[in-house]
Amino acid sequence: MTPLTPPSSAREQESPSDPGAERTAEAVSDQVAEDKARPADATAARPRPVAVPLGLLKAMRPRQWVKNVLVLAAPFAAGRLLDLTVLPDVALAFIAFSLAASGVYLVNDTKDVEADRAHPKKRHRPIAAGIVPPTLAVVTGIVLFAGAIAISLVADPDLALVTGIYIAVQLAYCLWLKHEPVIDICIVSSGFLMRAIAGGAAAGLYLSPWFLLTMAFGSLFMASGKRYAEMRLSERTGAKIRKSLERYSASYLRFVWSLSATVVIMAYGLWAFGIGVTAMPGRLPSAPSTWAIVSIVPFVVAVLRYAVDVDGGNGGEPEEIVLGDRVLQVLGLVWVVLIGLAVYTAMA
């Protein structure tokens, strides 16, 4: 019996296909898949529309607005913090310095975008990460500067002058003076001092020389401590954090740190011993407030506690140290209560 032979067309279907044709088909298929995937990948690589405004807000560093609480220092020390004729202007000073500081941060991050990309932490900042375009950051900074000056003028022309000086000094730091040793520390510390002066200017208050010395050297203490902590971080990680650190030594920064701590404690003691003292013609001045004298204790302990954090290489931004140390927060609360009792009982 003769076996049945499939037709030629059937044999062609059952026979294996040409290897060359298979490779060609696979290549075409891969190319089509790649062409389909490319637009999706490009779309995913673009930042989402909502990412830019959120990144811009993050670049303004609202967490650091806590520094501007220093505008309350002068009204609080003068016993005028709860005065309804003073409080609105002080609130405007807080807003003005928040806007001005955010504008400075935007300009600074734009100027240092390349250096920030090589930094272990700063590379995640929105401008360095490519989320916020540098041009948008600069334009927003200019708008914030204009808003800060305008709000300051609403409160008091003297406040507008202080705000303008703050912006000019900080921009000079960002653009030219950041890498100059000693000058950089002095400018950073002047930012804290000008915040305290702004509060007095907004409220129209007289600022005691001892109060100003306390603020000035307290600011220098924090700024030199920040540089020391940066040096320790640079030694541990090998990262090049800032150029000015190349001109410093650990012993020099500790000298500035110790000097400023000594002066700030002495200046605060002299200021505290003057609270409650009233000069009377033909009679001895009244005794200083007991609460003010007692407030020296938590103040000194807080300075020493802050020094421990910095000496351990954990110091960075002052607000980060304060927010991360519960003991320091308790000492600050005790100091606020004591100095508040001293000021307001002296006025009674």
Considering the domain architecture, whether residues 203 and 234 belong to the same structural domain is answered as no
Average pLDDT on 179-204 reads 92
Where is average pLDDT lowest: 12-26, 103-117, 205-219, 324-338? 12-26
Would residue 144 count as lying in a domain? yes
Judge whether residue 196 has pLDDT over 90: yes
User: Rounded to an integer, what distance in angstroms lies between the CA atom of residue 141 and that of residue 138?
Assistant: 5
Torsional sign, CA 295, 297, 299, 302:
negative
pLDDT band (50, 70, 90) for residue 287: confident
Where is average pLDDT lowest: 45-59, 143-157, 214-228? 45-59
Considering the domain architecture, whether residues 234 and 283 belong to the same structural domain is answered as yes
Considering the domain architecture, whether residues 302 and 284 belong to the same structural domain is answered as yes
Last residue of a domain, one of 188, 207, 226: 207
Considering the domain architecture, whether residues 153 and 249 belong to the same structural domain is answered as no
pLDDT band (50, 70, 90) for residue 11: very low
Count how many domains the chain has. 2
Residue 260 has a pLDDT of 95
Considering the domain architecture, whether residues 259 and 158 belong to the same structural domain is answered as no
User: Rounded to an integer, what distance in angstroms lies between the CA atom of residue 116 and that of residue 160?
Assistant: 32
Mean pLDDT for all residues in the chain? 83
Residue 46 has a pLDDT of 54
Considering the domain architecture, whether residues 160 and 304 belong to the same structural domain is answered as no
Q: What is the pTM of this model?
A: 0.79
Would residue 3 count as lying in a domain? no
Considering the domain architecture, whether residues 190 and 226 belong to the same structural domain is answered as no
Which pair of structure tokens corresponds to residue 237? 């990680």
Give 157 or 15, the one with higher predicted confidence: 157
Residue 17 has a pLDDT of 46
Average pLDDT on 267-282 reads 86
pLDDT band (50, 70, 90) for residue 240: low
Considering the domain architecture, whether residues 213 and 334 belong to the same structural domain is answered as yes
Q: How many CA atoms lie within 13 A of 313 on its CB side?
A: 8
Residue 121 has a pLDDT of 78
Neighbour-count burial for 250-289, b at 16+ CB within 10 Å, e otherwise = eeebeebbeebbebbbebbbebbbebbeeeeeeeeeeebb
Range of the domain at 241: 208-348
Neighbour-count burial for 182-210, b at 16+ CB within 10 Å, e otherwise = eebbbbbbbbbbbbbbbbbbbbebebbeb
Average pLDDT on 252-264 reads 93
Considering the domain architecture, whether residues 260 and 340 belong to the same structural domain is answered as yes
Average pLDDT on 11-24 reads 46
DSSP 8-state secondary structure symbol assigned to residue 63:
G
Last residue of a domain, one of 207, 227, 245: 207
Would residue 43 count as lying in a domain? no
**Is the CB of residue 230 less than 8 Å from the CB of residue 241?**
yes
Judge whether residue 292 has pLDDT over 70: yes
Which pair of structure tokens corresponds to residue 27? 């290549």
DSSP string for residues in 8-62: HHHHHHHSPPPHHHHHHHHHHHHHHHHHHHHHHHHHHHSPPTTHHHHHHHHHT-G
Considering the domain architecture, whether residues 161 and 224 belong to the same structural domain is answered as no
Last residue of a domain, one of 179, 207, 235: 207
297-317 confidence digits (pLDDT tens): 999 999 999 988 888 766 667
CATH number at residue 147: 1.10.357.140
Judge whether residue 123 has pLDDT over 60: yes
Considering the domain architecture, whether residues 167 and 218 belong to the same structural domain is answered as no
Judge whether residue 269 has pLDDT over 70: yes
Judge whether residue 207 has pLDDT over 50: yes
Average pLDDT on 238-265 reads 85
